[in-house]
Amino acid sequence: MKVLACDGIHEDGLAMFRDAGWTIEISDPIKDPAKLSAALEGVDALLVRSATQVTAEAIEGAKQLKVIGRAGAGVDTIDVDAATARGIAVMNAPDGNTLAAAEHAISLLFSLARHVPKADAGMKAGQWPKAGLTGFELEGKKLGVIGLGRIGSTVARKAQGIGMEVAAFDPFLPPAAAAKGSVPLKTLDDLLAWADIVTLHIPRTKDTTNLISEARMRQMKKGAYLINAARGGLVDEDALRVVLDEGHLAGAALDTFATEPLQADSPLRAHPKLILTPHLGASTSEAQQAVSTILARQIIDFAATGAVAGCVNLPPLTAEAAREVGPWMPLMSALGRLAVRLVQAPTRLEITYAGRTDALDTRPLTRLLVAALLGTSSGRVTPVNALQEAAARGLTVAETVGGDGDGFDRLLKVRVIGENAAGVVRTREIEATLHRGPRVVRLDGVEIEFDPLAHVLLMRNEDRPGMIGRVGTLLGEAGVNIINFALGAAGDGQARAAITIDKPLGDAQIATIKAAPGILSLQQV
């Protein structure tokens, strides 16, 4: 497995990849999508911070890429929709830099209150710039936090610690979290009108872009301050200069910008009421060590066991749950491939997990079966995009959990339904379990047992003596060994057989057996 690490990923995480046997390629930020696309050739996992933009174009041809890992929180630099459509998992490590980002926001708060950057610049320029740098005290001032998630709530706690009055706006906060928090919630309008300082801690999305528009800045108190250490594009930068010039806002501190790096000639750089830092929120050695190692653990485990943590486009699966579903995974893939051989172009798939299902997380199993079923025909389908692809291709997937295991500890029933070219609806049913490995135990209600991972011939024949011998002779003549011959009476004068063989048959050999008297159908799966 190979990882491409861009943007300066901390060595400790890279060492974990090396220890797990991965090959590592380290790169400076790759800004050109065509260059990134070329660099992704043969890469299984891409690691980025905020500099490398992972666009749809960049990952379009990345055949081997399985995971994009963001060593940090915001995934706005990654086209997650494009990654999902290509079946690529996107992971982040937001817990690793919460403290660093919160502390940086607090440092900007103090810098604004006490003019630290201006004082420092004046001193370095040979002045004694005391006059004009009178600040204000933070204790007793009102801090309005927009976004009370990991970073926002940490900022709130620290600001309360220095005696500030804190309130927040976060319409998406789960009610339980809102109820137990010590930070009162306000509407955005009320918060803007109430706060002496407003600090942003929300992701950049379609809905939050330019959230702090000129109109919103004008809702803030005259003489108030604004801090954006979350994401560029949340604040209208042109409007900010206008309200600062007019004196409506007294100052602002920005760590993040609509375009990064900020252009050398940006008018923001020269503004006397602005404090600027170059996206330093996560730049502590502790945070970089943490995000890199958290991400490495998540990606290594995902590749090795299927455990899913910190993934924005797959449901989580704990290591314990992954251990439980792990043995079922080869069976699911095999059943997906078998289902589509039985009914080509299916329109409906019904999966029932019966028997003991309490500890079984069925979501990854269903995704795996659907991925195998759809991936057989075309395109790159993985558990990440399986359900999306199913919907796009007109395949309805229904999952039922529970029901009688029919004597098995766990029994999996797969019904696959589709129409042939003549409009005839076909329904086939497979029942399978794990018993000394993957086992199909019934096919269309007939008890025949076989290993769906092996080379298998599925046969329908007239239920009369001599059939086994006839087929055995023909296979022997074809130089093929029979490993197992499972036969079951279908009750309609016909029998079903699953013949496990040691190597696949060629088309001509299949045609010869099919033509034998009494053989009604023969299919190699």
Ligand X SMILES: O=C(O)CC[C@@H](O)C(=O)O
Tokens of 513: 């057996």
Q: Strand 23-27's sheet: what is its strand order?
A: 23-27, 2-6, 45-48, 67-70, 89-92
Distance CA 498, CA 455 (A): 10
Distance CA 380, CA 389 (A): 10
Tokens of 102: 């919160």
Per rule CB under 6 A, is residue 73 in the interface with ligand NAD?
Answer: yes
Per rule CB under 6 A, is residue 90 in the interface with ligand NAD?
Answer: no
Per rule CB under 6 A, is residue 49 in the interface with ligand X?
Answer: yes
231 included as an active-site residue: yes
Per rule CB under 6 A, is residue 232 in the interface with ligand X?
Answer: no
Q: Which of 36, 44, 50, 166 binds ligand X (CB under 6 A)?
A: 50
Q: Using alpha carbons, list the distances in angstroms from residue 262 to 4, 205, 267, 269.
A: 26, 20, 10, 9
Name the H helices within 115-219: 116-124, 150-161, 175-180, 188-194, 214-219
H or E stretch including 387?
helix 386-392
- Which among 49, 104, 201, 279 is annotated as catalytic? 279
Task: Report the residue number, 266 or 283, with the smaller CB distance to ligand X.
Answer: 283
- What is the smallest separation between the CB atom of 280 and ligand NAD, expressed in angstroms? 7
Q: Which of 282, 309, 349, 474 binds ligand X (CB under 6 A)?
A: 282
Q: Which of 5, 7, 53, 72 binds ligand NAD (CB under 6 A)?
A: 72
279 included as an active-site residue: yes
Tokens of 93: 């490590």
Task: Report the residue number, 150 or 297, with the smaller CB distance to ligand NAD.
Answer: 150
Calculate the dihedral angle through the C-alpha atoms of 443, 444, 446, 448, rounding to the nearest 10 degrees.
Answer: -10
Per rule CB under 6 A, is residue 49 in the interface with ligand NAD?
Answer: no
**Binds 255, which of ligand X, ligand NAD, none (CB < 5 to 8 A, cut-off by type)?**
ligand NAD
**Binds 49, which of ligand NAD, ligand X, none (CB < 5 to 8 A, cut-off by type)?**
ligand X
Per rule CB under 6 A, is residue 84 in the interface with ligand X?
Answer: no
Q: Strand 346-355's sheet: what is its strand order?
A: 396-401, 346-355, 410-419, 425-434, 438-443
Name the one range near ligand NAD by CB under 6 A: 110-118, 147-155, 311-319, 322-330.
Answer: 147-155
Q: How far is CA 30 from the centre of its chain?
A: 22
**Binds 336, which of ligand NAD, ligand X, none (CB < 5 to 8 A, cut-off by type)?**
none
Tokens of 98: 């919460």
Strand-strand pairing, 346-355 and 410-419: antiparallel
Q: Which amino acid is at 50?
A: S
**Binds 328, which of ligand NAD, ligand X, none (CB < 5 to 8 A, cut-off by type)?**
none
Name the one range near ligand NAD by CB under 6 A: 23-31, 146-154, 264-272, 475-483.
Answer: 146-154
- What is the smallest separation between the CB atom of 399 and ligand X, expressed in angstroms? 35
Task: Report the residue number, 203 or 330, with the smaller CB distance to ligand X.
Answer: 203
Beta-strand ranges (E) seen in 448-481 are: 455-462
- Which among 57, 260, 350, 429 is annotated as catalytic? 260
- What is the smallest separation between the CB atom of 279 and ligand NAD, expressed in angstroms? 5
Q: Judge whether 499 and 470 are in contact, CB under 8 Å.
A: no
Task: Report the residue number, 117 or 203, with the smaller CB distance to ligand NAD.
Answer: 203
> Which is nearest to 338 in space by CA: 450, 219, 434, 227?
450
Number of residues that bind ligand NAD (CB under 6 A): 32
- What is the smallest separation between the CB atom of 97 and ligand X, expressed in angstroms? 5
Residues lying near ligand NAD in the complex (CB under 6 A): 72-74, 94, 97-98, 101, 146-152, 169-173, 201-203, 207-208, 229-231, 255-256, 279, 281-282
Where in the sequence numbering do the catalytic residues fall? 231, 260, 279
Residues lying near ligand X in the complex (CB under 6 A): 49-50, 72-74, 97, 279, 281-283
